[in-house]
Amino acid sequence: MDRAERLIRQAKPAEQPLSSRAESDLDNILASNAEDTTAHRTQLPRRPARWIWAAAAVAAVAVVITSVNLAQPGKAFAATPPMPTITTTGQDAVTTLHQLQARATAQPDRSASTEIATQWWALSSDVDATGKITASTIDPRRRVANLGPHGITSYTDYAAQPYDAAGRPADDPNAPAPGTQLDTVTVDPDQQIFPDSPPTNPGAFGDYLADHLPLNSPSPTSNAFTGIRTLMAERILTPAQQEAFLGYLAGLQDIQILGTSTDRLGRNVLVFAAPTQKDTQSLLMISPDTGRVTATEVIYRGTDRTDIPTPAVIEYTTWETP
C-alpha cells in the first residue's frame, strides 16, 4: 500500500450509526413521489451545517523516515540531477518542428518491437527526525516495458548506478545494487491509458491525447508533453505517428524552443519547453537527426521549496531506443 493511500485510509472517519436527521431524510425520501421532486424537496429539512466527524481511532502512524548515519552534517539541499546545459540556436519552434517532421518520416519503423527501455528518476530525499536532509545521492531507475500487439502488458524496474549532483557515480550504501530487480507490474488491457493506436493526422493528435488522458494544465504544450510521455511509456510510435505528433506540436501557440543540449544518455537533442506552470516547467527533447522524442524533463523553478535548489531537475524520463 502506498504511503498516500495508507495515510488517507487511516484518516477515514469511522462508520457511525445514522443520525436522527439521516433516518428522517431516508423516511422522507422513501415516502416521496418520484414525479414530484419539488414537493419532496420541501420535506428535506434544512439545518445549520455542523461537523459530526465520526470518532476515529487514534492510530499512531509511523512516519517512515530513513535515517542515515553519515559522518557529514546534514546537507542544505537534496541532490538533484545536473541541469541540462542548453545552447540557444536562434531557430523558431514551428520551423524546427516542421524540419523534424521530415526527418521522422525517413526513420525505420520500430513499432513492432516488443520492448521499451527507459531510464527515469524522481526526487529522493532521506531526512532525519528534525527534517534535515542527511543523504543526497541520486538513485535512478531503469524500466523495461514489455509490449503486446496492442501496447504495454507489463514492466519491470531495475536499480541503476547512483550518482551525485555533479553527475559523478556515487556510493549510496542504502541503494540496491545496480541491476537489482525492484518491481514487476502487470498492466491489464483495461489499465492501458492508450489502448488504441495514435492517429497519423496532426489535427487529430491533440484530441487523441486529451480523450485518453484528460489533463487540466492551462498550457496545451504542457499537456502535450505529459501526454506523449505517457503514450511513449505504453507504445512505440510509427514514423507516421511521430510525424503527426510533431505536426500537432507545431500548431501549439505556447511551445518554445530553448536550443540544443544533450540528454541523460549523451545524445544531441533539441530542447522544447512549455511555459512554467505552478513553479514547474516541462521540457521535451527531440533528436535533430531522427525527429524522435528521446527524453522529457521537469524543472522546478519556484522559490518556496527548501529541500532543493532552484532551478532543479525534479523528474526525467529518457528512452534508451527512441
Partner 1 sequence: MPSPGSSSDATTSSAHTAPEEFAAFYRKNYQPALNLARCRAAGADCEALVAEAFLVSWQHYQRAGNLTAGWLYGVLRNKIGDYYRSARRRETPTPDLDTHGPITDDSTSRSDEHLDVLRVLQSLPATHSEPLILTYWCDLTGAEAASALGIREGTLRVRLHRAQRAFLKAFDQQTGRATTLEEVSPWTVQND
Contact set for partner 1, span 114-173 (CB under 8 A) = 118, 120, 122-127, 131, 133, 139, 141, 143, 157
Nearest to partner 1 of 61, 265 (CB atom): 61
11 vs 9: CA distance, rounded Å: 5
Shortest Å distance, C-beta 299 to partner 1 = 15
Nearest to partner 1 of 62, 253 (CB atom): 62
Phi-psi map region of 270: left, alpha, beta (phi>0 left; psi -120 to 50 alpha): beta
165 vs 153: CA distance, rounded Å: 34
Q: Under rule CB under 8 A, which residues in 27-56 are in contact with partner 1?
A: 28-30, 32, 34, 37, 40-41, 44-56
Q: Which of 71, 214, 253, 303 binds partner 1 (CB under 8 A)?
A: 214
Nearest to partner 1 of 171, 190 (CB atom): 190
Phi/psi for 18 (5° steps) reads: -60, 140
Cell numbers that stand for 131 in this block: 527534517
Distance spanning both ends of the chain, measured CA to CA: 33
DSSP 275: P
Nearest Cα to 299, choosing from 320, 282, 277, 318?
Answer: 282
Q: Under rule CB under 8 A, which residues in 223-262 are in contact with partner 1?
A: 226, 229-230, 233-234
Does residue 59 belong to the site contacting partner 1 (CB under 8 A)?
Answer: yes
Nearest to partner 1 of 116, 271 (CB atom): 116
Nearest to partner 1 of 146, 260 (CB atom): 146
Cell numbers that stand for 152 in this block: 504495454
Write the interaction track for partner 1 spanning residues 69-88; mark x where CB under 8 A is met and - where it is not: ---------x----------
* Close Cβ partners of 160 (under 8 Å, ≥ 6 residues apart): 119, 139, 140, 141, 142, 178
Binding residues with partner 1: total (CB under 8 A): 83
Nearest to partner 1 of 110, 212 (CB atom): 212
Q: In a 3-state reduction of DSSP, which class is residue 242?
A: helix
Does residue 18 belong to the site contacting partner 1 (CB under 8 A)?
Answer: yes
